[in-house]
Amino acid sequence: MTDRFYVRHPLYPIVSILTALLTLIGSLALARSVWGSVFVAAVFVLLCLFGYASTCLRALPVIAVYLAVFSLIFYLASGGNAVFTWQMANRLAGVAVAVLPGLSMPPVRLTRCLTALGCPRLLTLGMLITTSFVPVLSGEIRQVRSAMRTRGVTSLWNATAFYRAFLIPLLVRLVNISDTLALSVETRGFVSQAGGYTVYHPVRLTGKDLCFAGLFLAVLVCGLTAPLLGLAAPVQGVLA
């Protein structure tokens, strides 16, 4: 998760997590029918309509390249089997779309939600630190690489340069960050024992979340029942 993918009004965190999980399950269950492609596309459009358009558009080129590369690999590995390639593309597209709600959710919002629901403090604090550490790690890697270029080291293929100029400085910076995090958590009064605490910016379930959840479940139910009712042809029937 990185700041540039955050949206102004994200969905309720639990709704986002369930959406990602059910999108993944639905795409895997429907991968063998045409409805698998329709289901993934419908979820993508639904996310765009509920405030995730910027994230979806930012991620769309990456998703397109990701699908193209892996679809080509599966096509060549299967000896030119277009049906198998389409089925695998449905699964891969489902994984890509399932990532979008979580990618757009600030970690602190999830922590506030879980705290309000009474989850253990060690769990919520651990999730906050873990999810927040990803962009921090990315920034530290960029700084170390910039320092390497300043010192004239432009390649990481040399084992000595990688170890002395990249790995050691990165590990030292990460250790310093972990010490700072530990002191920061302690000075802010975080404790693992149960006790009184206040969520100053509570995250509440809204009508928008309920509307999205209802539409998403309708799409999922229609997708799961359509093949059973004979309303969606299998992939091989379309490619034949």
pLDDT given at position 18: 92
For 42-53, how does the pLDDT look when each residue is reduced to its tens digit (9 = 90+)? 999 999 999 888
User: In sequence order, which residues have a C-beta less than 8 Å from that of residue 197 and are 6 or more positions away?
Assistant: 115, 121
Instruction: Identify which has the larger pLDDT, 115 or 132.
Output: 115
Kindly report whether the global pTM for this prediction surpasses the value 0.75: no
Measured CA distances, 128 to 99, 111, 123 (Å)? 18, 6, 9
pLDDT for 70-117, tens place per residue?
999 998 988 888 888 888 998 999 999 998 888 788 777 887 887 777
- Residue 6, φ and ψ in degrees, nearest 5: -70, 145
* Tens-place pLDDT, residues 18-40: 999 999 999 888 888 888 888 99
The full set of domain ranges for the chain reads 3-108+204-239, 118-187
Distances (CA, A) of 9 to 1, 49, 57, 100, 106: 16, 12, 16, 14, 10
> CA–CA separation, 98 vs 216, rounded Å?
12
